[in-house]
């Protein structure tokens, strides 16, 4: 009698069951990983915007702003010659943050304005809190000198979540 090559239906069903269990165990952890990656990417985008605006102010000799687009969560933009009627030019636009994240600014900041020395125009340090509610977050600090830095936040500083 000749032996047939291949797999049986039982072997196929067992393999599919094992794959299904693995996906069920791994997928929730993968979602958290993706959310934390979005947190890091968004924090880096804000630091990039601040650094870029500061360098543009130093290079161009005029006021340059990082300004929100409705709210900070809806994105932000870098604007040359900000505050000068008729000569404002949007030089870079940043997309809205992912739905899983929250971004709040200290006080009621609508823009960060840098002067030709790269300093914040009003001379007051500012900060933003970017959170993955119920998990972790990042505080983005902008010193009066215009330099940004970040600090990690734990779940207690980012309450909420599901």
Q: What is the pLDDT of residue 140?
A: 97
CB 113, CB 57: distance < 8 Å: no
- Domains within the chain, CATH numbers bracketed: 9-157 (3.55.40.10)
pLDDT tens across 21-30, in order?
888 887 777 7
- Mean pLDDT, all residues of the chain: 90
Of 120, 118, 74, 114, which Cα lies nearest the Cα of 94?
Answer: 74
CB 52, CB 78: distance < 8 Å: yes
CA distances from 153 to 47, 105, 118, 150, 159 (A): 16, 15, 27, 10, 11
CA atoms within 13 A on the CB side of 11: 3
SS3 33: helix
pLDDT tens across 12-48, in order?
999 999 998 888 887 777 788 888 899 999 999 999 9
pLDDT tens across 70-94, in order?
999 999 999 998 877 778 899 999 9
* Residue entry with tokens 């404002």: 88
Which contacts qualify for 23-27: CB closer than 8 Å, 24 or more apart? none
CA distances from 1 to 5, 6, 7, 145 (A): 13, 16, 18, 86
pLDDT tens across 96-150, in order?
999 999 999 988 899 999 999 999 999 999 999 999 988 899 999 999 999 999 9
CB 59, CB 37: distance < 8 Å: no
Structure token pair of residue 56? 């543009």
Structure token pair of residue 150? 């970040």
């Amino acid at each position: 009698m000749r032996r047939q090559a291949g797999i049986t239906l039982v072997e196929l069903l067992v393999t599919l069951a094992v794959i299904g269990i693995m996906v069920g165990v791994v997928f929730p952890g993968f979602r958290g990983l993706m959310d934390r990656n979005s947190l890091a990417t968004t924090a880096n985008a804000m630091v990039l915007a601040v650094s870029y605006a500061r360098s543009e102010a130093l290079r161009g000799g005029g006021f340059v702003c990082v300004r929100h687009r409705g709210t900070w969560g809806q994105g932000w933009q870098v604007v040359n010659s900000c505050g000068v009627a008729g000569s404002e030019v949007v030089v870079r636009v940043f997309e809205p943050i992912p739905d899983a994240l929250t971004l709040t600014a200290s006080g009621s900041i609508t823009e960060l304005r840098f002067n030709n020395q790269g300093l914040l125009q009003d001379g007051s340090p500012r900060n933003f809190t970017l959170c993955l509610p119920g998990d972790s977050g990042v505080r983005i600090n902008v010193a009066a000198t215009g330099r940004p830095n970040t600090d990690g936040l734990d779940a207690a500083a980012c309450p909420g979540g599901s």
